[in-house]
Amino acid sequence: MTKIAFIGLGNMGNPMAANLVKAGHDVHGFDLLPENLSRAEQNGVGKTASAEAAIQGAEVVITMLPAGKHVLSVYEDIVPKAAAGTLFIDSSTIDVESARKAHMIAGEHGLFSIDAPVSGGVVGAEAGTLTFMAGGKDEAFARAEPILKPMAGRIVHCGRGGAGQAAKICNNMILGISMIAVGEAFVLAEKLGLSHQALFDVASTSSGQCWSLTTYCPVPGPVPTSPANRDYQPGFAASLMLKDLRLAQEAAQAAGAVTPLGAEAAQLYALFNAIGQGMKDFSGIINLLRGAD
Ligand code: NAD
């Protein structure tokens, strides 16, 4: 049993913390929203009045917060007060630069840290099947791996500090672009009088094959479990796709990478969000491409 502090008990953090409790860990948590704290308490998480109180006696601190600024402000607040040897795991999706700063803050205090963003969404968080993409030193990763296991289907050590966040935004840039590509193909097929099923049958076994088509098909019918069959209820909300595409663009600009399709995808998802569709599944972008909303 490990004493774990969990900061940020929202849609993702709450079920993740619940799985740590189920695995027999002693978890104390904090969230700014009282209702999220109460929900965590019902799942066996010890409720605390502040992040500082949550880390009292903790060997591991996990953060699951909205963005880089939240993670850095929490780290600046609690890292100096953490016990020697504490391992910090940040599972939020944040910009690579902030992730590196978070490692630096922990490192300056002689503490272990990894960035470990996830994919798999709320469903994966509840089922304990998230994919963790980790960045950090070997020793920190070795300590983090058994802690992540009850929340994970897969854990990949991607490299040094920030590499987990880099892997996450590169993957999601592929996803955003490929969903638009698949959506465009269905829209063109409709105009050409080709049925959804015929395009699916051909492309899913041809060179157009990809996850956005075969698992997450953006039209109803060919893949009965895809969000298109339930009026694009998420799934993975378009607002979160936009967040990740913007993080990818920020990183591309900082690193001098040329990503014209990533930039275009970010613009299309920004438009989709601007017309009030941010809470729909990201595959609903096909409706924007049709000229409907
Ligand atoms: P959420 O908004 O539901 O949860 C974030 C929580 O952090 C909120 O409860 C908020 O009150 C709390 N918080 C903010 N500042 C705080 C502070 N200073 N101290 C304590 N608590 C604080 O968001 P979420 O959906 O749980 O996502 C969390 C992270 O995981 C984000 O970075 C998101 O991009 C990433 N993510 C989300 C999904 C998803 O499907 N929801 C999938 C993969 C990754």
Set 101, 168, 243, 280: catalytic member: 168
Q: Which is nearest to 167 in space by CA: 241, 242, 115, 234?
A: 115
Residue 205 makes CB contacts below 8 A (sequence gap 6+) with: none
Q: Name which of 54, 48, 78 is nearest 3 in CA terms.
A: 54
Domain borders along the chain are: 3-160, 166-290
Q: Is 277 in the pocket of ligand 1 (CB under 6 A)?
A: no
State CA 70 to chain mean position distance: 15
Domain pair 3-160 / 166-290, same fold:
no
Q: Atom 1 of ligand 1 has which residue's CA nearest to it?
A: 10
What is the model's pLDDT at position 292?
61
Please enumerate in sequence order all residues whose Cβ is within 8 A of that of 192, keeping only pairs 6 or more positions apart, or say none.
Answer: none
pLDDT at 290: 95
Looking from the CA of residue 117, the nearest atom of ligand 1 is: 44
CA-nearest residue, atom 29 of ligand 1: 92
Q: Is 7 in the pocket of ligand 1 (CB under 6 A)?
A: yes
State the residue for tokens 């900082």: 254
Give the chain's residues under pLDDT 50.
none
By the 8 A CB rule, do 81 and 109 touch? no
Whole-angstrom distance, CA of residue 102 vs CA of residue 211: 33
CA 238, 242, 247, 248 dihedral sign is positive
What digits encode the pLDDT tens for the residues 29-62?
999 999 999 999 999 999 999 999 999 999 999 9
Q: DSSP class of residue 259? A: -
Ligand 1 atom 25: residue of nearest CA: 11
Q: Which atom of ligand 1 lies at the shortest distance from residue 94's CA? A: 32
The pick from 6, 12, 133 for probing ligand 1's pocket by mutation, whose C-beta has the most ligand atoms within 8 angstroms, reads 12
pLDDT at 122: 87
Fold type of domain 3-160: Rossmann fold (3.40.50)
Distance 117 CA to ligand 1 centre (A): 11
Buried b (16+ CB within 10 A) or exposed e, 24-59: ebbbbbbbeeeebbebbeebebbbbeebeebbeebb
For residue 151, how far is its CA from the centre of ligand 1 (angstroms)?
Answer: 16
Q: What integer pLDDT is reported at residue 179 of this predicted model?
A: 98
Look up 191 and say whether it is catalytic: no
CATH number listed for the domain at residues 166-290: 1.10.1040.10
Q: What kind and span of H or E run contains 131? A: strand 130-135
* Any ligand 1 atom below 6 A from CB of 75: no
